[in-house]
Amino acid sequence: MTTGTVYLVGAGPGSVDLLTLKACRLIGEADVIVHDYLVAPEIIALARPDAERVFVGKKGGGFCCPQRDIEGTLIRLAQEGKRVVRLKGGDPFIFGRGGEEAEALAEASIAFEIVPGVTSALAAAAYAGVPLTHRTHASAVVFLTGHEDPLKPDSTLHWESYGRLGATLCIYMGMKNLGTISQRLQDGGMSAETPVAVVQSATTGDHRQLLSTVGRVALESEHAGFGAPAIVVIGEVASLAGKLSWFETAVSAGVREWSVAP
């Protein structure tokens, strides 16, 4: 039997319209779809009716399937000669463990391809009306995780240093530790009045956003009931959401996006 191929495919931030054409084609051709919790049902529905669907998602740190088991599943399916699409929310290589899965496939001599997706920070900021770079306000962008591997002996993130960086900070998986993160940024010299945008369930029908400041965001987001999945964007550019918030305005007005999805 000829060994199959595994495609590590970015499913984007939620909206089916933000899939790449290649991702859409591969989903429709796959024998097996191995998907995460955050992949929208509308995206999984693009698969062939006879395609096998394998859920390996994780939610809020509660493991449904250990990472090593996911890698073993991908290897086994490929060794059975199947075309496997590993659907990952956002982009496979941006806090998606795609690197770990690619390493496992390479070590097992399994052919694989990486199909980039629209990562959540880009989509959340765009839909909230926050330009991550701006000639006046920000010339650098940093992607950070608010939830590191608990097995690491020490954190590699020195938040105080990022508080002095002057860049736009995009924090993934940061809601649980937002109070600590915002305080450490201030300890590093960031002003408590620095604008912050919190965007929950970006690009979907559950899209919500909150405009706040570093000094108040943890308390205000908690009071407003914000939680995962969410992206936190910190920096002067976040203040532009007040006048560039096109998606929330359209939803409030009952205007639907033009859709090219089947």
Amino acid at 261: A
CA torsion through residues 174, 180, 183, 189, sign: negative
Whether the CB-CB separation of 199 and 231 falls below 8 Å is answered with yes
Concerning whether 17 is annotated as a catalytic residue, the answer is no
Among 17, 58, 149, 206, which one carries the catalytic annotation? 58
Q: Which amino acid is at 225?
A: G
Q: Could you list the beta-strand ranges (E) of the chain.
A: 5-10, 32-35, 52-55, 58-59, 62-63, 84-88, 111-115, 141-145, 168-172, 195-200, 208-213, 230-234
- Choose the catalytic residue: 17, 22, 31, 36: 36
Residues 53/59/63/69 CA torsion (nearest 10 deg): 30
69 given a catalytic annotation: no
Contacts of residue 170, Cβ cutoff 8 Å, sequence gap at least 6: 121, 125, 132, 141, 142, 143, 144, 231, 232, 233, 234
- Catalytic site positions: 36, 58
